[in-house]
Amino acid sequence: MDAARFVGRDDVLGPLGEKLAAGEAGDLVFVHGAGGIGKSALLREVARRARALARPVYSIDGRLIHSSLDGLRDALAAALDDDNPVVVIDSFERMTALAGALRDEILPGMPDTAVIVIAGRQAPDAMWFRDGWEHLAREVKLRPLSDAESTELLARLGTTGHYADATRRWAKGSPLALHIGGVHTEDEGPTLGSQGLEETIVHRLLGTEIHDVDPEVVAIAAVAGAVDQGLLTGVMYQGDPKLGFRQLRALSVVEPIGHRHTMHDLVRAALRSDLRTRDPVGYRTLVCRIADHLCERALSGEPALVSDLAALIESDAMQWGVSDRYRTDRLRAGDVDDVTAMLNPAEDAWWADARRFFEEAPQCVTVVRGDSGRLIGFTIATTPDDAPAWTNEDPILGPWLAHARSHVPDGKAIVWRDAINLSRRPDGSEDPDVVALLNVPAHLQHQLPVAEAFYGVVGSDDIELQEVSALIGAVHATELDVTSAGRSLQCHIMTHGPRGVVGQLQQLIHMEQDIPLSLTAPRPVPDTLARRALRDFHDPIALAACPLAEVSDVSDRAEYVRQLLLSAIEDAFGESADEQALRRLVERSYVDSSGGHRRAMSESNLSRTSYYRHLAEGVHRIALALADRRIPPAA
């Protein structure tokens, strides 16, 4: 049964199969990848192939060795006496304390014909590639299954058709997710993305580890794409960010990305969905707090964080530069031929114009590549200062660049000419992951924080994209519409202002989460001051002494602050049911004369921790609103 459900991994099994069959020169392979990516399944397939060739197999599970050198020696004693052993070691991350002994004491005693495959979640340590071991060891990082492999696996599980397509998109190439989703049908079992499936994934990948980590840290890691200590410091309401970061790094489903750490995609998606369902106000608030933190860092000299900021946008149509399966790249030799081969004769005319950029201005071209490295999409974009001189005569870019030079201060604009998706799903629709990468030319990302306007190209017949463009605030500049090489194109201009696209992304995220945004606070009001004023709402003497009172008449000062607070409460919350619930929580806690913390907590049905977390967010919102809200002193 297990063998019948194994697909793919030819890049690993091909070379290994030759070694297994030859029985002469051995092999030492380190296979690594995130949980659920199929490491254990690969080891079982290696074992099956070895046994089919009459080679003895010795299996070790790192979870069962318990860092015991004697246990490791005992497990491999028989292999050391064998002439042709195949050793497979799983969950190597659980026995890293024994790695030195394995390398220096045990493996040197293996016969030259031994084939050794070690699988773990982390890449092998550098010690495996020095002192001569670099000639023996090789490293393989397991990637998600391709769409074709995922479809084949689902078919072997008995899942085909529309539900198979939906399962494949949901699983994103994870063998674990494909198995969990594929054992159900459209009419039976939990639906894709349901709490039942998500809890199964979290349990299979994380077990009880999560119970040892601060819940607020888990929530932040579930929402943010990558976490560092600075993010925790800027976003956490309470707790120790330094300790929280250590706890997060210790999780087996967390891996480093430079100096930051990220959680396994499946676990992150499941935890994020659970938070969204269980605590919608807390979820939406957290998304915006993370966005605000990333925005300020991006504008303060960390432009690479723009991608993390964009990843917080949840709408497929508005996704910017986020994909688990594809990547952006510069042009390579052969890309022109690949594009030419993929186009039909009717597209030759526009391709002739676009091809010039590939051949004469490759700096204006960014491509999207699939698993095989083949080009599946491309963008052509530039800025007024970087555009080659001949682009002034281009039928599309020429008038748009001229407009940008005359209308955008200092030419701080990015102008798109083309965004071409050459890949399609089996149902003919565009893959949103490809669209996401086409939306942000990677070679221009360093300019995103300062670009004050985007000139986007939209097909005159693309109604959906036109609606999305209007939704995010772009303006259709009808005077710049062009017809070129059989294509009718519209120019949509999005003006961002001095905070550039970073500020625009921040606004989009707040809009999506229905939480008002105060971009600037000319007179910042600390949360502590807002909380003190709310606490003294019914105490006129204390309220009259509040620094927020900007009138001199003592008899008017308390009422001034009350009206200021009520006005700020009116401005601080959105219109959705969740936003209004948060508003009522604050009002019941502080403003209602018959309220108070105990009654508000009881009526909200929140735990003590959740209650004070929600209350802190409400106070923070009011503090932001107070910064922009002043009541003129009475005449």
Instruction: Express each pLDDT in 179-201 by its tens digit.
Output: 776 655 444 444 555 555 566 66
Comparison of pLDDT for 303 and 610, the residue scoring more? 610
Integer angstrom CA distances of residue 319 from 111, 508, 587:
53, 11, 36
* Encoded tokens for 254: 């967390």
**Element containing residue 382 per DSSP (H, E):** strand 375-382
Residue range 382-395: mean pLDDT, rounded:
90
SS3 461: coil
Residue range 559-586: mean pLDDT, rounded:
88
Residue range 84-93: mean pLDDT, rounded:
86
**Element containing residue 202 per DSSP (H, E):** helix 195-206
Tell me which residue has tokens 């994103």: 172
Comparison of pLDDT for 381 and 468, the residue scoring more? 381
Alpha helix (H) residue ranges in 84-146: 99-101
Residues in the chain: 635
pLDDT at residue 206, as a whole number: 58
Q: Which residues contact 570 (CB under 8 A, 6 or more apart)?
A: none
pLDDT at residue 189, as a whole number: 42
Comparison of pLDDT for 488 and 96, the residue scoring more? 488
pLDDT at residue 436, as a whole number: 64
Q: pLDDT above 70 covers what percent of the chain?
A: 83
pLDDT at 578 over 70: yes
Least confident of 200-204, 399-403, 555-559: 200-204
Quick one: pLDDT band at residue 69, thresholds 50, 70, 90?
Answer: confident
pLDDT at residue 307, as a whole number: 75
Tell me which residue has tokens 């046994």: 51
pLDDT at residue 398, as a whole number: 93
pLDDT at residue 188, as a whole number: 45
Alpha helix (H) residue ranges in 318-462: 335-342, 348-360, 397-407, 432-438
Quick one: pLDDT band at residue 441, thresholds 50, 70, 90?
Answer: low
Q: Which residues contact 384 (CB under 8 A, 6 or more apart)?
A: 401, 404, 405, 408, 411, 413, 415
pLDDT at 633 over 50: no
pLDDT at residue 225, as a whole number: 79
pLDDT at residue 606, as a whole number: 86
Q: Which residues contact 396 (CB under 8 A, 6 or more apart)?
A: 353, 417, 418, 457, 482, 484, 489
Half-sphere exposure of 93 (CA within 13 A, CB side): 16
pLDDT at residue 258, as a whole number: 67
* Encoded tokens for 163: 């539900």
* Mean pLDDT (the chain, rounded): 80
* Cα 26 to Cα 10: distance, rounded to the nearest angstrom: 19
Comparison of pLDDT for 14 and 181, the residue scoring more? 14
**Element containing residue 571 per DSSP (H, E):** helix 554-572
How big is the chain by its Cα radius of gyration, in Å? 29
- Cα 436 to chain centroid distance, Å, stands at 12
Integer angstrom CA distances of residue 405 from 12, 234, 503:
53, 38, 22
pLDDT per position as a tens digit, 412-433: 888 988 888 887 666 666 676 6
Integer angstrom CA distances of residue 234 from 75, 220, 260, 286:
48, 11, 15, 11
Residue range 303-309: mean pLDDT, rounded:
79
pLDDT at 440 over 70: no
SS3 568: helix
Residue range 603-611: mean pLDDT, rounded:
86
pLDDT at 480 over 90: yes
Residue range 97-110: mean pLDDT, rounded:
84
pLDDT per position as a tens digit, 219-268: 899 899 789 888 998 888 777 888 989 888 887 677 777 678 888 777 78
Residues 458, 489 contacting (CB under 8 angstroms) = yes
Quick one: pLDDT band at residue 590, thresholds 50, 70, 90?
Answer: very high
Residues 206, 254 contacting (CB under 8 angstroms) = no
pLDDT at residue 625, as a whole number: 82
pTM (global) more than 0.85: no
Comparison of pLDDT for 590 and 73, the residue scoring more? 590
* Cα 15 to Cα 25: distance, rounded to the nearest angstrom: 12
